[in-house]
Amino acid sequence: MDDYNNPRSYRFHQIVEIKNNSELIEQKQLTFGFIGFECDEGVKRNKGRQGAKKAPNEIRKSLAKLPSHINSSKIIDLGNVQCMDERMEEAQEELGTYIHSLFKHRCTPIILGGGHETLYGHYLGVRKSVSREATIGIINIDAHFDLRNEAAPSSGTMFKQILEQDKRAGYLCLGIQRLGNTQALFDEADNYSCQYVMEEDVADLTSTFQQIDWFSEQYDYLMLTLCTDSLQESAAPGVSAPSPFGLEPKTVRAILQYISNKQQFVSFDISEVNPELDTSDSTVRLAAYLVAEVMQGIHRKSLKGIN
């Protein structure tokens, strides 16, 4: 599907450049850097349904077919970080190193998870790339807090890890479900001064955007993570923990567009897509569309001269 090789008809697969990390050079134009995270060891430790490690390549396949509306930007794909022999922590460190390299060469990281343990590696890369004094706001679209108090890190512990280690980091979660979290987890959220918007309130976009604005103003940098189990099960059946009361895709799209247009926004990951549990590739396809929406939002911001 190359549409006669007309640049105005290009699809994503026609503008992606496959690179090794050693081949990166400093970019002079808006450049997106893909890195996949083939890991669902954190989901396994969290006693969830495995299969998300297969998502990065499946999302790429679906994204490749979509029309590109960012042809004045570049896309570089560094391939995937793999979790070998259950060594999740090493894989997260490696992911952070790749993300740091993308920042160093002026590329905007787009991370394709993987279980939601992807987020911790994402954070490591951002923290390594900014000054020690800089503040980092993490916005998570999710049904779950992921603030579990457990001995071993998993896909349910990342935000607790970060907030305990980094006093200059803050956490806003959009889409929290009462039946997806114990009261103890709500207590943990309060103990760490986390901000959150309940699932039933997110659809009031005026109020949700005001909450995002208030949170964003407190931080030098914003990183964004989307856990696809935040989406309603009918739209996203292929996730580790399906959600019958999840968010509508159009609502999530609007939130992604809004956050990606923020001046402080620097990076994005999508996690918990599980191709092994999907129905007719609907979740994979939706994930690809949402990744494309984020990229188009950043592209539009660059055209406006917002850096």
SS3 assignment, position 25 = coil
| Cα–Cα dist 268/78, whole Å | 15
- Yes or no: say if 171 and 138 are a contact pair by the CB < 8 Å rule: yes
CA distances (Å), origin 153, targets 116, 182, 274, 291: 11, 19, 20, 27
Q: Exposed/middle/buried for 28, CB within 10 Å: 0-12, 13-18, 19+?
A: exposed
User: Pick from 37, 38, 40, 39: which is nearest to 50 by CA?
Assistant: 40
Tokens of 143: 């049904």
- Yes or no: say if 119 and 269 are a contact pair by the CB < 8 Å rule: yes
Which residues define the annotated binding site for Mn(2+)? Answer: 116, 142, 144, 146, 227, 229
Which residues define the annotated binding site? Answer: 116, 142, 144, 146, 227, 229
Tokens of 24: 């990166």
